Amino acid sequence: MADEPWRPKEDEDDEEIEEINYKSQKDAIIIAIDVNSTMLQPPPPSDSKKADTDSALFAALKCASHLMEQRVISNPKDMMGILFFGTKHSKYPDGDDRASQSYPHCYVYVDLDVPAAEDVMALKSLIEEDEDGILIPSEDDSASMANVLFCANQLFTTRAPNFTSRRLFIITDNDNPHPDDKKSKSAAVVRAKDLYDLSIIIELFPITSNGTDFNVSKFYEDIIYRDISEEANSPQILTSTSGDGISLLKSLISNVTSKQVSKRALFSGIPFEIAPGLTITVSGYNVIHKQRPQRSCYIWLDDEKPQIAKGETAKFTEDTAETIMPDETKKAYKFGGEFVFFTPDEHKMLRDFGPPVIRILGFKPRSCIKPWESVKKATFIFPSEEHYIGSTRVFASLHKKLLKDDKIAIVWAITRSNAKPGLFALVASEDKMDDATGALYLPAGMWLYPLPFADDLRSGPGLKYRTNPPDKMIDDLSMVVENLWLPNKRYNPVKYPNPQLQWHYRILQAMALDEEVPEVPDDATIPKYRAINKRVGGLIKDINNAAKASVSSDTLASRPVKRELDAPSDNGPRKRAKSPYDAGGSSVSNKQLRDAVESGSVQKMTVADLKEVLTVRGIDPKGRKAELIDKIEQWLETH
């Protein structure tokens, strides 16, 4: 939150600590890909440029390769593995034939470990050519899902036993692998329950092909154990098509990317007091967070060999340089010219406003919330059954009522211990779907929208010059806006990644994978100047010309005009002809100014006129008269 200078530094430190803890959990993912005849079938030919060209299996492989490249750079401590099931050959990482026989038709291609450059290169070579015949389906074209789940269980328990997040991604187009074998289905259900008991989450990525529907209720509904508070995370069925513009690869990458980062609550189990005697529990999620290049360590370069530096912090007295222990320090605040000291416990008590809670104070129309009242990002909250059973039903009723009446709730909230309380607007939202893939990227819920206090409201800077644009300029600018709308009049941040961050990751990726370092970064934020010029280039020129003319006319009209004498006397002294410098500085042309400098008459101009001449030409008008004349002469040399 370094971009919020109005916040006290101590609050900023607390939030940074919270964010670090929020990111520090390790994650392990196994991507299990079904290898069968239908997954290997290429899509039918099509003339559409957006048609699928890869089979469902190779689209899944490219998706896995894409995610592995990302995790090599962005998540260097997380683990990832690739498991094929339904293959003719079997392989388990231990290299023991007996272990391989224990998991028939299961081929562990990439062991569950921190991805290395060799793993990425091996997966890319498999996509280009399957020299070893790994992707050959078994003869009976089936694999026991109990063996698949047990194999994944063994990988998780032996490779990542202490990881806080462990997930199994299953990509398949077979909605019923055991249609006539109840015994195999029951065994798979038992293995899935074992995974659930170990806090291993199963995520399903179903694919439909050849016009067939994927019915989750036939088999996978009994395999996937899901919390009732997470019903919004139900699997999105992906379609392998060729003519309707939906790309299976993009759909897979979008869906898997949305779930590759485990959902970690910013706060959980917070009491939500809807009314006296009616309390439920909710969890809060930080949906949007600015991503920065992560520094995992510091390197000491002043030695013969670079070494990882370990930081230590110590405090010393200014006069004797003695080490000060933490219990010997006190914090102080200055009141009336004197320092008032507090012990750490006393200082902690000063900031204690009570336990975390979200309490509704009242309700207001939704129109009361103004866009300019946003002083901090909102927090997405969702019900939790952690302390109060039935929280989901009560939360859903409140959510439905707020949407129906177009209302918001004003709440008093303390979201974590020792945090400052704040006023928030509780805003209900509906499901948000991705227009391109049709995937659900934000479920229905409610947002804690922080409201500003009185000292957060700041007036904008005053305008020295203010002109009213003509009606034609307004009409032209409206045409410019209408012709430059983004698709669907909506900004999609996925299409515009941070160029600085992506360049940083691209360099690291090239170094890690032994690739050629690119010379020019990809920057999707650069405006498409040719398209803009083609659409509204003429209108923009007209607007600029009209703006210059409007400003010039308003400036001339605002200058004081000396009233002439109503009846000038013939006997009075004759007025001399005005020299160029007698006019205001804004009315002196460049030719007149050059003639005045060459003839020396510029010395007769007043300081006010000289400053006005400089201001009109965009030059700093500060200084003595001689300095102002020097600035004019320097400007004339280059113009």
**Residue 275, beta-bridge partner list:** 278
- Do residues 152 and 105 touch, judged by C-beta distance below 8 A? no
- Residue 296 vs residues 77, 116, 261, 468, 503: alpha-carbon distances, Å: 10, 17, 19, 54, 18
Identify the CA nearest to 206 among candidates 166, 165, 234: 234
At 440 the three-state DSSP class reads: strand
- Residue 370 vs residues 7, 360, 427, 449, 451: alpha-carbon distances, Å: 21, 20, 13, 11, 10
- Residue 452 vs residues 406, 422, 524: alpha-carbon distances, Å: 22, 9, 34
Identify the CA nearest to 135 among candidates 91, 86, 80, 81: 86
Task: Report the alpha-carbon distance of residue 349 to residue 345 in Å, rounded.
Answer: 6
Identify the CA nearest to 36 among candidates 204, 172, 147, 180: 172
Amino acid at 624: R
Place of tokens 């805003």: 427
Question: CA gyration radius for the chain?
Answer: 35
Amino acid at 94: D
Q: Which helix (H) or strand (E) holds 219?
A: none
Buried b (16+ CB within 10 A) or exposed e, 330-339: eeeeeeeeee
Q: What is the DSSP string of 63-119?
A: HHHHHHHHHHHH-TT-EEEEEEESBSS-B-TT--HHHHHHSTTEEEEEEEES--HHH
Q: Which residues are catalytic?
A: 23
At 487 the three-state DSSP class reads: helix
Q: What is the DSSP string of 513-579?
A: TTPPPPSS---TTS--HHHHHHHHHHHHHHHHHHHHHHHHHHHHHHS--PPPPSS--TTSPPPPPPP
**Residue 383, beta-bridge partner list:** 282
At 426 the three-state DSSP class reads: strand
Task: Report the alpha-carbon distance of residue 73 to residue 502 in Å, rounded.
Answer: 11
Task: Report the alpha-carbon distance of residue 88 to residue 105 in Å, rounded.
Answer: 6
- Residue 362 vs residues 131, 254, 297, 359, 424: alpha-carbon distances, Å: 68, 39, 48, 9, 11
C-alpha angle 588/590/596, rounded to 5°? 70
Task: Report the alpha-carbon distance of residue 512 to residue 506 in Å, rounded.
Answer: 10
Task: Report the alpha-carbon distance of residue 561 to residue 577 in Å, rounded.
Answer: 17
- Do residues 448 and 378 touch, judged by C-beta distance below 8 A? yes
**Which tokens in the block code for residue 435?**
């227009």
